[in-house]
Structure 1
Amino acid sequence: MRPRALLLYLLVPLITQIVFAQPATHPFSIHDMLAMDRISEPQVSPDGKWVAFTLRKTDLDANRGRTDLWLVGVDGNNLRQLTTHPSGDYSPLWSKEGRSIWFLSTRSGSAQVWRMPVDGGEAEQKTSLPLDVGGFTLSPDNKLLAVSMEVFPDCESIDCTTNKLDAASQRKTSGQLYDKLFVRHWDTWKDGRRSHVFVLPANGGEAVDLMKGMEADSPSKPFGGMEEITFTPDSKSLIFTARVAGREEAWSTNFDLYLVPVDGSAQPQCLTSNNKAWDTQPVFSPDGKTLAYLAMSRAGYEADRFRIVLRNWADGKERVLTENWDRSPNFVVWSADGKTIYAAAGNIGQTSLFSIDAASGKVSMVVKDGQVRSVGLAGARLVYGLDHLRSPVELYSALSNGSDVRAVTRINAEKVAAARIGEPEQFSFKGWNDETVYCYVVKPVDFDASKKYPVAFLIHGGPQGSFGNDFHYRWNPQAYAGAGYAAVMVDFHGSTGYGQAFTDAIRGDWGGKPLVDLQKGLEAALARYPWMDGERVGALGASYG
């Protein structure tokens, strides 16, 4: 045998082993999307060394999801599962000393507050209320719990609500009489109950309704959470967000902040009555001297931008910190020294993280790309959740200026690596009135520029919304890319994250400027990418889209 032939003979088995040793991959599909583990509610420990978070795993065969609590070091080491009960465990909160975690669980048959030591030991049930707990938070001294529960506002006690629910379950008819709106809000039929805030001792005791008789919800429905509620620094009072609008509730955006003593000895006092627009998410500075919150300025307009307002807690004087910043923050987090506020906001197809000087209002970029979901303080570092068009949410840490980025979790790394995805890119074009409009394109999986590909033209809802650089579980363009389509997503006039004037441009013109942008955007994409087949284009959308 010739030497070259002999060498080839010897190498073939080795090459075969190497090829077959490579992990098999497949085009991304909706099944990959649904199978991703979902990280949410990250909470940094008081010493800044650990992050507790909720992880939802999906059993596709059983068609159900399961949530558990997990723990990981801020340095990315020592990942471990804290809870393994078949029921759902979620919404972790650290105790102030950092030795235990409070959380919600359905393991008792209803959603109640539990506590478990971090270093081992059994979980202990802390509430045994006759109604499900929707959310909770701890007072600064950890002696009190604030919980939200669904009650009938005309009831004097929780037992009254349970009795009404029992009576309703015995009815032989399902008809409901409505004499005002809402009848149905998003995906939920209204039955007369309201989400009210109750306070009770953390070690057990009577729950006091701080909103007794109020025809209002706190947290707000359908998307509000416990970020709308906070204790005062002395743990003697509580501030909650609510909309008291009577028959105008269905179109009112007049959410206000209310202050009430934790014992319910006085009626809630409205702190923001001068503003007829939206006020929400109260957060005290570390020294307790300043209350920050988000506020809109135009009544009845839910697509207005939020400003950050600072209120001197001693004298009630307020100032708008971000009047000159043309972005709408999603949340407010104070730095440990109270000199900086961190906020995420829509920003040209991203949801970026910014730092804001609490004295001057100067804004600096911290994390530009992707969608920042949350942020927490870990000593000199920030811990944040981030997703983008290539990956679902993972946790990262960085210095306060955004440098030295490190991965804290890699929960979905293997699943992401196993599914081949399309390459995303953003471009701009001249839309309505020759103004700049942005668009995302995701190329088909296994892209070949010599081929022609059909186009999935995705149209977002709202219309004051956005298709951005995020891993979406309803409209994920990678599902279309994996099926051999090019995905095109135009952020037409009215979209958020491009300045308030861009959002306002379609007031009274929902069917005009957006349609022009969509037409011009598709035309621009077909001209820019000759491999897109303009004869095979399908438009997809929901709600406004």
Structure 2
Amino acid sequence: MKKHLWALSALAATLAGQAVAKPLDVNDVINLNKVHSAVIAPSGNAMVYGLKKDGESNLYWQDLTSGEVRQLTSVKGTEHDLTFSQDGASIYFLADRGQGTQLYRLSLSGGEALAVTHLPIDVAGYKLAPGGSKVAVQLSVWPSCDTLACSVEKRGELDGKKSTDKSYDQLFVRHWDTWADGFVNHLFVADIKDGKAGDVVDLMQGQNTDAPPKPFSGMEEVSFNNDGSKLVYSAKAPGKDHPWTTNFDLWEVDLATKATQNLTSDNTAWDAQPTFSPDGRYLAWLAMSKPGYEADRYRIMLKDLRSNQVRELAPQWDRSPGSIQFASDAKTLLVTAQDTGQYGLYAFNVDFGDMKVLSRDGAVGQVSEGAGRVLFSKNSLDKPDDLYLVDKDGFGLKQLTQVNADKLKDLDMGDFAQFSFPGWNNETVYGYWIKPVGYVEGKKYPVAYLIHGGPQGSFSNRWHGRWNAELWAAAGYAVVMVDFHGSTGYGQGFTDSIAGDWGGKPFEDLQKGLAYIAKQEPWIDADNACALGGSYGGYMVNWIAGNWNDKFKCLVNHAGLFDMPSMYYTTEELWFPEHEMGGTPYDNAPMYDRWNPAKFVKNWKTPMLVIHGQKDFRVPYSQGLGTFTALQRQGIESRFVVFPDENHWILNTENLKVWYKEVLGWMDKHTGNQAPKANGK
């Protein structure tokens, strides 16, 4: 009967002439319009963006003065990775229009898009040289091949092989969700003449290394200098140490001679995102300083190409940038970074290092600049992405799009607020609460205690496609999220503090945070709560099961770490556990033992839902199976849900519906939550 309550209340409101708003559900999240690939014209007077709407994605042009909008494309498929031509008359993009993914150019004065590349291999990414005379493209090739035809032939041989064996002489054997097959990302460069790319030249011929690096990096790791004579990219040197080193360097290629040099050989930590100033004066990039540590603070480095002097920009700014790019004035560096539960946009003067805040609240995503005007996307806990405009000096902020106005007007969202409390060692720790949709003063609500992964991460004030906190609020839960010690955006010392202390400071923060906010907000019923998390959040769920077993009505563990020694031997990026646990299991067994959830399974008694993707190579599904086995063998109420086609994340929309149905059903069962659900869920 519960599933009909929302429908009946909606009908009653309709009959009474009241406006009806329904709680958000997973179908709403999936079906939202999604803005992507936004770029501003060099003049700053117009923008082009992609919009996925009702299952189709097309490009739109918008005048930034009048607001006039016109649709540019209507071809099946998704155009993405947009770039304006230097004169603003054309737009470049990647699309698959029957010949694999290729680079296209579309004149904004009319006509059809014309293919710039005609390659036998998909173009995974591209970067135009200033002026558009050259293009760099990312292609997946067999490293020893000297022609694309050779790589195509090699791919055909592998696909046509009758046996199913895979053989390896070195790691990586698999990475993220893909078994290594011998193909690597290489960068190729071609001249562009009369709108067409000529023959491509492999800049990494014979190198068994990836550029851009797998699995998530893109062409932000590649940059032409201002006259197109050189190209710089981030990559590891060829070798067998890739799974346990974070030593990415910047490599400069002279495009005339093909001579390559390592620009950052003196730094054995991570160097990334090279970018040249438009006037050719500076090369900027991001650099970590601790080898083997993926969550170290990125420093903004500047090399004066006239004097060859290198310095750090704004060394006292204790935040780690997510992206950098020069503005067209060559004096301003646009930077995104997490800061105290937000993901902001900042403008730095490269001469003096002074900073201006362009956007702080919410979460900034893509950024593009033209003639001093900065276009960016932004979302928040209760709002999906839209596009915004601001001057590089921080003035004139305005919202440009409302791509989901019609879809959101009939949806209720829970009110939210950030809070802080004295956590471990009485140090200030931040978090968020969200009120359940339909909140009634004086009523107490069961708690969904969301624990983020990483562990160097943060749920933050942002809209999430998978772990969408508003969905628990819509289901009638008080949502609580704490950015415990180890979280990002609170200074590097705070982030570093979790290393070697996985079940220590963060665990204490989680205990204190829930007790604090329940006392401050009496509608939060901390005695009727479920804790849930993914990855490190799943680790913490397992840790809670053995070390705080009298607090929660239920637990939900998605892709959580269960047994630390076996996790080390079956994961892929070994630098991560080696840093976090202070070495390998054979060199530092006491640390792996100290923070091993499997050590405490005899204390487990709380009902737990375990979820895992079978293609998860970061936290292999054997970790979830081990968790479930420990529960079942002890007779603890438990359920195991496996998605054979999913990796560390749930990406298939039908699977995501099942995920939320399983999670909310499990929590409702154990908390007695009777809140009405939209769409009968």
User: Which residue number corresponds to residue 534 of structure 2?
Assistant: 542
Distance 1:316 1:117 in 2: 40
User: Which residue number corresponds to residue 276 of structure 2?
Assistant: 284
User: Which residue number corresponds to residue 521 of structure 1?
Assistant: 513
**Deviation larger for 420-429 or 153-162:** 153-162
Alignment of 1:370-381 (within 5 A): 370-381=362-373
Aligned residues: 523
Distance 1:339 1:380 in 2: 11
User: Which residue number corresponds to residue 502 of structure 1?
Assistant: 494
Cα 1:21–1:384 shift into 2, 3 Å: farther
User: Which residue number corresponds to residue 231 of structure 2?
Assistant: 238
Per-residue CA distance 1:33-74 (angstroms, 9 max, x = gap): 111122222111111111112223354xxxxxx432222222
Query: Is 1:97 equivalent to 2:87 in the alignment?
Result: yes
Output the amino acid matched with 1:179: D
Distance 2:164 2:287 in 1: 40
Per-residue CA distance 1:451-474 (angstroms, 9 max, x = gap): 221111111111001110011112
Distance 2:16 2:61 in 1: 36
Distance 1:222 1:204 in 2: 27
Per-residue CA distance 1:463-496 (angstroms, 9 max, x = gap): 0011100111121101111111111111010000
Identity of aligned residues (%): 43
State the 1:340 CA deviation: 2.3
User: Which residue number corresponds to residue 247 of structure 2?
Assistant: 254
RMSD over aligned Cα, in angstroms?
1.9
User: Which residue number corresponds to residue 8 of structure 1?
Assistant: none
User: Which residue number corresponds to residue 406 of structure 1?
Assistant: 398
Query: Is 1:335 equivalent to 2:331 in the alignment?
Result: no
Higher helix share: 2
Q: TM-score, normalised by structure 2?
A: 0.74
Cα 1:245–1:210 shift into 2, 3 Å: closer
Query: Is 1:530 equivalent to 2:518 in the alignment?
Result: no
Query: Is 1:174 equivalent to 2:170 in the alignment?
Result: no
Query: Is 1:79 equivalent to 2:69 in the alignment?
Result: yes
SS in 2 for 1:365: strand
Distance 2:523 2:335 in 1: 40
Cα 1:395–1:21 shift into 2, 3 Å: farther
2:417 to 418, 421, 425: 425
State the 1:175 CA deviation: 2.2
State the 1:96 CA deviation: 1.1
SS in 2 for 1:174: coil
Structure 1 unmatched ranges of 5 or more: 1-15, 60-65
**Deviation larger for 476-485 or 180-189:** 180-189
State the 1:260 CA deviation: 0.8
Cα 1:88–1:335 shift into 2, 3 Å: closer
Structure 2 unmatched ranges of 5 or more: 1-11, 538-681
User: Which residue number corresponds to residue 224 of structure 1?
Assistant: 217
Query: Is 1:46 equivalent to 2:37 in the alignment?
Result: no
Query: Is 1:145 equivalent to 2:128 in the alignment?
Result: no
Work out whether residues 245 and 252 of structure 1, in 8 Å CA contact, stay in contact via their aligned partners in 2. Answer: no
Distance 1:86 1:92 in 2: 17
State the 1:18 CA deviation: 10
Work out whether residues 53 and 70 of structure 1, in 8 Å CA contact, stay in contact via their aligned partners in 2. Answer: yes
User: Which residue number corresponds to residue 362 of structure 1?
Assistant: 354
Cα 1:19–1:283 shift into 2, 3 Å: farther
Cα 1:235–1:378 shift into 2, 3 Å: closer
Query: Is 1:190 equivalent to 2:180 in the alignment?
Result: yes
Distance 2:358 2:83 in 1: 26
Output the amino acid matched with 2:110: G
User: Which residue number corresponds to residue 652 of structure 2?
Assistant: none
Query: Is 1:395 equivalent to 2:387 in the alignment?
Result: yes
User: Which residue number corresponds to residue 622 of structure 2?
Assistant: none
User: Which residue number corresponds to residue 339 of structure 2?
Assistant: 347
Work out whether residues 68 and 90 of structure 1, in 8 Å CA contact, stay in contact via their aligned partners in 2. Answer: no
State the 1:20 CA deviation: 8.1
1:461 to 444, 449, 453: 453
**Deviation larger for 495-504 or 378-387:** 378-387
Per-residue CA distance 1:481-529 (angstroms, 9 max, x = gap): 1111111111010000000000011111112111111111111122122
User: Which residue number corresponds to residue 33 of structure 1?
Assistant: 29
